[in-house]
């Protein structure tokens, strides 16, 4: 049913940037909007078409696909789309399709441009959205430190060519740097071995220093990718050592340049979508750390980076579901695979396990359940192969408890809400982050709506959830320092996950519960809570700023680890930060602690 003027005004007053407009400006804009209904499967617009205006979702979900017909985004209520094309030449740079029944409101093209001309808030908002688009891998703007392979293969000058060749072969590496202590004397490549040793009939015990290229040209980590490319082309070389303060820190090869330019989220999604085995997908997901490094180095915001990385996990899951159906046959009844945890919230980083479950149509019979058990085993094992390791808490569809008909799930939620035991609080916290990944989305829609309604009305359950959300606290010391981990492998470090982002995630979940918000993403929950009046504008903006700083620090830490050849984790030593960075990070933790305190003392949600 089309929206009347009053309903449209109420909706826009909770959507940025329209909530920042004066009453007169919003009133003048209302008649220009048109509401339109699209049914599941309807094409909203195609790639390259003339856009009629800016689209804003009132109800439903819309899938956006890029020029390669690869899904790049799944949008929901209060999300707008089409602005990229409108800000360029008016032609769509993507395609859009309704994946469930949708009610959209459309602002015509001329009204959209007039809004940008007349309202600073709108211009800043859409400029920011445009700037937040993921940047393509670009050698001209990428630093050498994001391209190089750290810890290159080295050997002393007395090493024989035979020994060097054996080491290079075993490591599948095409070059070796020759060091005298820490001094770089030269470099030898496969070409040197074949041309000078084999071609020149030299004995295999010839010292590597006799065939190396002495005093090779080098670059520093702060140089840019085009410097590497130009040097290789000018000097006809394929290997460039990277030195810093006279010390060898890495090497860049032609293969590294090719690999860098090939790594993009769309490319990884496309390769996974066409893979035929979990092992083939694993070869693709192994490049996720490099993607994370490039996205962070490119200046992308944390919510963009984590969304793009999560899209890869979503694609792998859907591809495994398709392969499972190919192997086991079509499902006997409809089903829905859902993710929870960081994947459910679209907040995956370089370190992620799997958390998932299966909802099955109530028409399923006992003799049909083994089909879904086999499907769950296949998909979870495939995700583990791809690097999404098995959940240590067994929150996976392979656990029969989490592979059940919808009626059982309805009973689960009803029981958790009515009898909020410690286990119920924990399970409810996990399951309130559920997000559909593959299958029949309609199986979840009614369940989510009724659960949110019942949960928000049960004051005892809400109180227990509030208490549970305060178990993870920011790492603040009694003085002005940090409360670091006291012992073990990560002694004197901060846990940026459990004591950094998780406290904000928990608060976002509580605000969503209070506001009956369907969003699972933390930032979307906080923004929605502010729009719904559950969270004050001042408290909400402070919490958003704090969350952004903590999440950005976590991603930058992981990117630094990838750059140095380490596996990314969530543990950061405060000593690795500058005084300026430590001060701001502590201020962010203080904001989170203050919001936790307000909630814990029963001051409500208005921060």
**Nearest-angstrom CA–CA distance, 584 and 600:** 24
Helices marked H in 73-224: 83-87, 109-118, 120-131, 161-171, 190-192
Q: With a threshold of 0.85, does the pTM exceed it?
A: no
Element (H, E) at 387: none
* Residue 75 C-alpha from the chain's centroid: 15
Block means of pLDDT (10 residues each) for the chain, length 607 residues? Answer: 82 82 88 93 91 91 73 71 81 87 93 88 63 49 82 94 93 93 93 89 94 92 81 85 89 81 75 92 93 84 88 93 96 96 92 92 97 98 96 94 96 90 83 91 87 88 86 77 88 94 94 87 90 87 92 94 90 87 86 84 49
DSSP state of 92: -
Nearest by Cα to 264 from 153, 134, 354: 134
Q: Phi/psi at 593 (nearest 5 deg)?
A: -60, -40
Q: Residue 605's pLDDT is what?
A: 44
Q: Could you tell me where in the chain the CATH 3.30.460.10 domains are found?
A: 263-419+427-452
* Residue 598 C-alpha from the chain's centroid: 30
Element (H, E) at 424: helix 422-431
Q: What is the residue whose two structure tokens read 């979990």? A: 278
Superfamily of domain 5-131: Jelly Rolls (2.60.120.10)
Nearest by Cα to 313 from 290, 334, 338, 295: 338
Q: What is the pLDDT of residues 67-97, one digit of tens each?
A: 666 555 667 788 788 887 887 778 887 889 9
Helices marked H in 458-605: 459-469, 502-515, 522-532, 537-563, 579-600
CATH 3.10.580.10 fits 144-254, yes or no: yes
602 Rama sector, left if φ>0, alpha if ψ -120 to 50, beta otherwise = left
Task: Say which CATH topology domain 263-419+427-452 has.
Answer: Beta Polymerase; domain 2 (3.30.460)
Q: Could you tell me where in the chain the CATH 1.20.120 domains are found?
A: 470-600
Q: Residue 264's pLDDT is what?
A: 73
Q: Is-contact 216 238, C-beta < 8 A?
A: no
Q: Could you tell me where in the chain the CATH 2.60.120.10 domains are found?
A: 5-131
Q: Could you tell me where in the chain the CATH 3.10.580.10 domains are found?
A: 144-254
Q: Phi/psi at 345 (nearest 5 deg)?
A: -85, 0
Sheet arrangement for strand 102-108: 34-38, 102-108, 53-59, 80-81
**Nearest-angstrom CA–CA distance, 166 and 164:** 5
Q: What is the residue whose two structure tokens read 């029981």? A: 415
Question: How distant, in Å, are the alpha carbons of 204, 230, 250, 326 from that of 176?
Answer: 16, 22, 11, 46
63 bridge partner residues: 74, 97
User: Would you list the DSSP string of 340-363?
Assistant: -HHHHTT---S--B--EEEEE-TT
**Nearest-angstrom CA–CA distance, 288 and 305:** 11
Helices marked H in 242-398: 254-262, 265-273, 278-285, 288-297, 302-328, 341-344, 369-385
**Nearest-angstrom CA–CA distance, 25 and 340:** 41
Would you tell me which CATH number, out of the four given (3.30.2410, 1.20.120, 3.90.870, 3.30.70), belongs to the domain 470-600? Answer: 1.20.120
**Nearest-angstrom CA–CA distance, 309 and 560:** 17
User: Would you list the DSSP string of 37-67?
Assistant: EE-TT-EEE-TTPBP-EEEEEEES-EEEE-T
Q: What is the residue whose two structure tokens read 């008016």? A: 90
Q: What is the pLDDT of residues 324-370, one digit of tens each?
A: 999 999 999 999 999 999 999 999 998 888 999 999 999 999 999 99
* Residue 172 C-alpha from the chain's centroid: 31
């Amino acid at each position: 049913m089309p929206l009347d003027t009053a309903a449209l005004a109420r909706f826009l007053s909770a959507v940025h940037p329209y909530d920042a407009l004066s009453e007169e400006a919003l009133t003048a804009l209302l008649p220009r909007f048109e509401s339109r209904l699209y049914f599941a499967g309807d094409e909203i617009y195609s790639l390259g078409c003339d856009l009629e205006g800016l689209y804003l979702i009132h109800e439903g979900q819309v899938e956006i696909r890029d020029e390669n017909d690869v899904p790049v985004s799944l949008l929901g209520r209060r999300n707008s789309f089409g602005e990229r094309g409108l800000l360029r030449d008016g032609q769509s740079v993507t395609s859009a399709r309704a994946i469930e029944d949708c009610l959209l409101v459309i602002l015509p093209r001329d009204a959209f441009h007039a809004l940008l001309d007349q309202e600073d808030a709108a211009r800043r908002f859409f400029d920011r959205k445009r700037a937040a688009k993921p940047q393509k891998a670009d050698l001209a703007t990428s630093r050498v430190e994001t391209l190089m392979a750290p810890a290159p293969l080295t050997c002393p000058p007395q090493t024989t060519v035979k020994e060097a060749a054996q080491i290079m072969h075993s490591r599948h590496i095409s070059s070796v740097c020759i060091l005298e202590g820490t001094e770089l004397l030269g470099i030898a490549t496969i070409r040197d071995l074949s041309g000078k040793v084999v071609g020149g009939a030299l004995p295999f015990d010839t010292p590597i220093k006799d065939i190396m290229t002495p005093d090779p040209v080098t670059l520093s980590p702060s140089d840019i990718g085009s410097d590497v490319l130009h040097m290789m082309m000018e000097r006809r070389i394929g290997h460039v050592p990277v030195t810093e303060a006279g010390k060898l820190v890495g090497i860049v090869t032609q293969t590294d340049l090719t690999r860098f330019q090939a790594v993009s989220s769309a490319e990884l999604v496309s390769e996974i979508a066409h893979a035929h085995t979990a092992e083939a997908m694993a070869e693709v997901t192994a490049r996720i750390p490099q993607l994370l490094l490039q996205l962070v180095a490119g200046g992308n915001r944390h919510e963009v980076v984590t969304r793009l990385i999560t899209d890869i996990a979503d694609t792998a899951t859907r591809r495994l579901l398709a392969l499972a159906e190919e192997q086991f046959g079509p499902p006997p009844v409809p089903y829905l695979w859902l993710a929870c945890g960081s994947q459910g919230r679209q907040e995956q980083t370089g370190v992620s396990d799997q958390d998932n479950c299966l909802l099955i149509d109530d028409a399923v019979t006992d003799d049909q359940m083994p089909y879904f058990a086999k499907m769950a085993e296949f998909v979870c094992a495939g995700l583990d192969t791809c690097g999404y390791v098995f959940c240590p808490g067994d929150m996976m569809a392979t656990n029969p408890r989490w592979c059940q008909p919808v009626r059982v799930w309805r009973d689960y939620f009803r029981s958790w809400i009515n009898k909020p035991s410690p286990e119920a609080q924990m399970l409810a916290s996990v399951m309130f982050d559920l997000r559909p990944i593959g299958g029949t989305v309609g199986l979840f829609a009614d369940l989510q709506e009724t659960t949110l309604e019942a949960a928000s009305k049960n004051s005892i359950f809400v109180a227990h959830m509030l208490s549970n959300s305060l178990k993870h606290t920011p790492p603040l010391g009694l003085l002005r320092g940090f409360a670091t981990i006291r012992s073990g492998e990560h002694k004197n470090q901060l846990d940026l996950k459990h004591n950094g982002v998780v406290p904000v995630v928990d608060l976002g979940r509580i605000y969503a519960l209070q506001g009956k918000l369907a969003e699972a993403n933390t930032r979307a929950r906080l923004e929605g809570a502010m729009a719904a009046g559950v969270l004050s504008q001042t408290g909400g903006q402070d919490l958003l700023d704090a969350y952004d700083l903590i999440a950005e620090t976590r991603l930058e830490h992981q990117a630094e680890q990838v750059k140095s050849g380490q596996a990314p984790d969530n543990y950061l030593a405060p000593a690795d930060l500058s005084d300026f960075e430590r001060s701001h990070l502590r201020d962010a933790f203080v904001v989170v602690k203050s919001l936790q305190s307000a909630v814990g003392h029963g001051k409500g949600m208005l921060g």
